[in-house]
Amino acid sequence: MHARVLGGRKQMAGTKRVGGATSVRWTGRPLISKNRTARSRKAMSCIERKLEVLQELVPHGPSMQELDGLFREAANYIVCLQVQVKVMQILLDELSPEVFDN
């Protein structure tokens, strides 16, 4: 029995019972269709581009090798930015002259 391998994957077309033994026939077609593979490659490249952008935005992002570390650092960075905005809003409220409606 010969099985053709395409892209590291095999697909079994069917089995037949012949005189008590099972005969397996391989089609040699990949399990995933070409369109689906192209879509998954396109989606993966889209995800990779987004990860590269995230690495550029987050401090120390380019040196991050693991995704979980990058996501944690991004979450911490977002919290720090939110705190900075809140502090600036408080400073603006306290330091800006008040307008009286008399």
User: Quick one: which H or E segment has residue 69?
Assistant: helix 67-95
pLDDT in the model for residue 4: 47
Buried b (16+ CB within 10 A) or exposed e, 2-23: eeeeeeeeeeeeeeeeeeeeee
87 within a domain of the structure (yes/no): yes
- 41 falls within a domain: yes
Q: Is residue 29 a part of any domain in this protein?
A: no
The total domain count for the chain is 1
pLDDT in tens, 33-83: 666 677 777 778 899 999 999 999 999 898 988 999 999 999 999 999 999
Say if 72 falls within a structural domain: yes
Q: Is 5 inside any structural domain? A: no
Instruction: Assess if residue 24 is contained within a domain.
Output: no
**What is the C-alpha separation between 90 and 87, in angstroms, rounded?**
5
Residue 49 lies inside a defined structural domain of this protein:
yes
Contacts (Cβ under 8 Å, ≥6 apart) of 46 = none
**In sequence order, what DSSP letters do the residues of 26-55 get, joined into one string?**
E----SS-HHHHHHHHHHHHHHHHHHHHHH
Please indicate, yes or no, if residue 11 is contained in any of the structural domains.
Answer: no
Half-sphere exposure of 80 (CA within 13 A, CB side): 8
Q: Which has more confidence, 10 or 22?
A: 22
Q: 83: domain range?
A: 34-95
Spatial CA neighbour of 15 closest among 26, 23, 7 = 23
